[in-house]
Structure 1
């Protein structure tokens, strides 16, 4: 028998799949229940609204990013730490690719639910860990671009002829090269 935690996770997985396929607004709780082969009452036991499901998704998939920011804050601001931060971030995004696809395709919903503000704050915290305040403007741009190039890689490379691992490695290499260039400019 599945535990309550497993059921909640299944609901989140199926909901995210449907949100990505059809869009958040066009997905109903009934459709989520049908895809799970459960009653709406069973679904309501775990989540009362679609917004509750979406908030839980952001919390569970955002937790590794919050942990990464906290880890980065405890480290000395060395080039190696920044490269490691990018490597860990790249790895964390692989587990959240479906959520990022959802965010890309449902930006109005994200804004309406103020989830975008939480995400934006996480990104600012990450950029702050990568950049040197006394670095040149160009070097600070390199640091921000390094982080966002990892995001872009999830979308821009989706149709390229390479394995997901090859794409991830290529994007991480470019992101780390930007950090090295910014570090040498400091």
Structure 2
């Protein structure tokens, strides 16, 4: 019979029981304890960080939950550290044209018309597209009828894109990378539904 020394506990075992799981090796318990400790430490760090950000966002959500979607468009302060995290989350969930190279993508939170039942979603666009093309793609994604090419510039049914943070209507002729950066939020609206201060 051939015996093998276990690297984990140093005991000798036959070929059938040479692997740590087959002989309930003590080293397995130590490894699993280390995993549990590492996991607990990671959970504490995550809980500590998200406890801070949740308390910050809870103040904002309690006031925003009482108001409807048809709020006036005022600037919302955002922290730069959180923006990076938001962009990473956006990248993992965003939908868009897969033919756009990853280095040319602009990741945005997209909100749809206030009076629609379309769910807001993260999307990505080519950063070299004009705002007009982003508007067209957004309207298609939300299944909204876009007649901007047939109606007057000041027509109340004209679709526009707003920068949610600033409340500004985005110029359709400018490149999206000139007016937006990844992590920003945009809203598709009709001119008649915009409340200007």
TM-score, normalised by the number of residues in structure 2? 0.29
User: In proportion to residue count, which structure has more helix?
Assistant: 1
User: In proportion to residue count, which structure has more strand?
Assistant: 2
TM-score, normalised by the number of residues in structure 1? 0.30
